[in-house]
Structure 1
């Protein structure tokens, strides 16, 4: 006898009926979706990330890159995972989490809220962050030591860190690794001109080339030393410099005096989506600081180039970091004390966990 399949119950339900079921039995439907393959992330998730592209700069460019690699090469990594939290009983996406890795090491947990900050109530934060933590801990083969830090908007980072600490008994570190302002620059705010260089100074700003690899590596290593605990060996710094140069992601400002040339500043741009480019590293060695406005000149030059093809350039700058004045002079918004509130300028935190109980990565 042939079995005649019955139509599932949901084929007879209206949308309103489904909403009623979801609202009355929320425990039966998880608000968290998981994706360990970028090419299977639904279009709706990419759409919401692109609608929040500036804030999503820590997730979207990498997801798009991995999407392309997985779709066209068929190569997959077991270290790429995305979680999506939707309002229970609806398809309204409220948060996207990534637990991924780059070529130098594993990234922190990144979480991007896709709703206005005013909607991040204590209740929503508690429910969503606990759901994320539960989902990570239930992930097959997942090790809790993988979560060495969380980077997100301040209230989200604090909520996740609290939930993770309670569920894993791995204590958070009280002082944040990174206490930063997220800011942006556009064609409308960019200050296009720099002061003229001193007479006789030969100053060149350009993309780094292979011949610069050793110098760029040393500056990458020095930069990492300013961001504990994410130091780099010279070998790892050389690997990073080679990747930055190969991928056309780093610019240099070279100064020549008396026939001797030296790189006086570097700017790296490692995250790009269709409308947003993120400056991810700016470093000037001690002997060139407070001379000739090296970082300011190079950041401005890089922004001019990026804004030819992108709507905004974004970056993070540490609270209290004197570099904020440099970025303000270039045209980044909301960095001066007492300046009016600017939409999109946000306070972000990277909160670390007990280093004796986690495996540090690098970003």
Structure 2
């Protein structure tokens, strides 16, 4: 299967597909409200090759963007020979998805720009002036993990661990603050609390806590969180990293990300994926942990590609959340 063959790039589709199939088998929900569109080539000998996959799915906080995946190496995606396949993908989207549902498209940049333009021509719904998200995909393997000692303030007593139920209010605050910095996908305090509860219940969030020497354990503050919510048996995706402004510039997130990665590898994961904004200084944090292709002088690498989320006129669509 194309998705399983490149799980890092497929991290926006495969884990969600697996969850949906598992829930349908358990009769918890039907797949009728989800859609996956495959565009593939059939060769004369009858073999098939997947070119593009688009998903229209939802999560616990709202509907996801249209996610796009291709197993084709990024360097080849700009070839005009793939334009008919992207055009066919746009046609099938128009035939099967309500235009108001498509509030954004997220995928490899060269494909997403073409697909979004085709979608606008067919639906007359214009793109928003600026992309919602312009990022680079990166990944880490066990052999890439960089083990570095980070100095800790002598009066600090820190813990890096899976979140406890008692952490939920502070995690919710950080989830709310994270969303406020990424419009238009903001959260109310109530929905942020729901997100924190789900992250805890699913065992998908770790915390970095700090308290002053001599102070009781209950005085500890959650300085930083790391969530990993799109996972398969062999691949994990770090989907949220946030440090409270009071603790920034102290390499707290770096320590937490490193320990989370070490934990994920101990559970059998062979790769960890993440997206980081093109202009986001957090790339330096991930580079120090060992994520590939994020250093200033790192060579161009296959699989470390630009991705973009292009949104559409919010007067014409219903905004979701991811």
Is TM (by shorter chain) over 0.5? Answer: yes
Task: State how far apart, in whole Å, the 1-side matches of 2:318 and 2:86 are.
Answer: 21
Q: 1:219 aligns with which of 174, 180, 185?
A: 174
Q: Which residue of 1 aligns with 2:305?
A: 346
1:68 paired with 2:22, answer: yes
1:324 maps onto 2:256 in alignment: no
Corresponding residue of 2:160:
205
Shift of 1:343: 2.5
Residue aligning to 2:147: 192
Alignment counterpart, residue 295 of structure 1, candidates 247, 253, 256: 253
Taking the aligned partners of 2:272 and 2:181, their CA distance within structure 1 comes to: 23
In 2: Cα distance, 1:231 partner to 1:78 partner = 28
* Residue equivalent to 1:271: 230
Q: Which SS does the other structure have where 1:188 is aligned?
A: helix
Q: Of residues 119, 128, 138 in structure 1, which corresponds to 2:95?
A: 138
Shift of the alpha carbon at 1:72? Answer: 2.5
Q: Is the 8 A contact 1:99 1:110 kept in 2?
A: yes
The DSSP-based 3-state class of the residue aligned with 2:67 is strand
Q: In the alignment, does 2:38 pair up with 1:80?
A: no
SS at match of 1:342: coil
Gaps of 5+ in 1: 1-46
- In structure 1, distance between residues paired with 2:279 and 2:86: 29
RMSD: 1.4
Match of 1:19 in 2: none
Partners in 2 of 1:73 and 1:193 — Cα distance? 46
1:123 corresponds to 2:77: no
C-alpha displacement of 1:77:
4.5
Q: Distance in 2 between matches of 1:234 and 1:117?
A: 39
Which of 64, 89, 92 is the aligned partner of 2:49? Answer: 92
Counterpart-to-counterpart distance in 2, 1:216 and 1:294: 15
2:65 corresponds to: 108
Question: Aligned-pair distance for 1:80?
Answer: 0.8
Deviation (angstroms), 1:74: 5.8
In structure 1, the partner of 2:274 is 315
Secondary structure of residue in 1 paired with 2:7: coil
Following the alignment from structure 2 to structure 1, what is the Cα–Cα distance between the partners of residues 175 and 28? 32
312-321 vs 114-123, which moves further = 114-123
1:26 equivalent in structure 2: none
Task: Give the length in aligned residue pairs.
Answer: 314
User: 2-side partners of 1:145 and 1:96: how far apart?
Assistant: 20
- Deviation digits for residues 118-160 of structure 1 (CA, Å, limit 9, x no counterpart): 3324434432222122212222xx4201000111111011011
Poorly superposed stretches of 4+, deviation over 4 Å: none
Structure 2: state its 5+ residue gaps: none
Q: Does 1 or 2 have the higher relative contact order (CA < 8 Å, sep 6+)? A: 2
Name the SS for the 1:271 alignment partner.
coil
Contact 1:192 1:304 in 2 (8 A): no
TM-score, normalised by the number of residues in structure 1: 0.83
- The corresponding residue for 1:42 is none
Normalised by the length of structure 2, the TM-score is 0.94
What residue is the counterpart of 1:230 in the other structure? 185
Mapped partners of 1:243, 1:194: distance in 2: 32
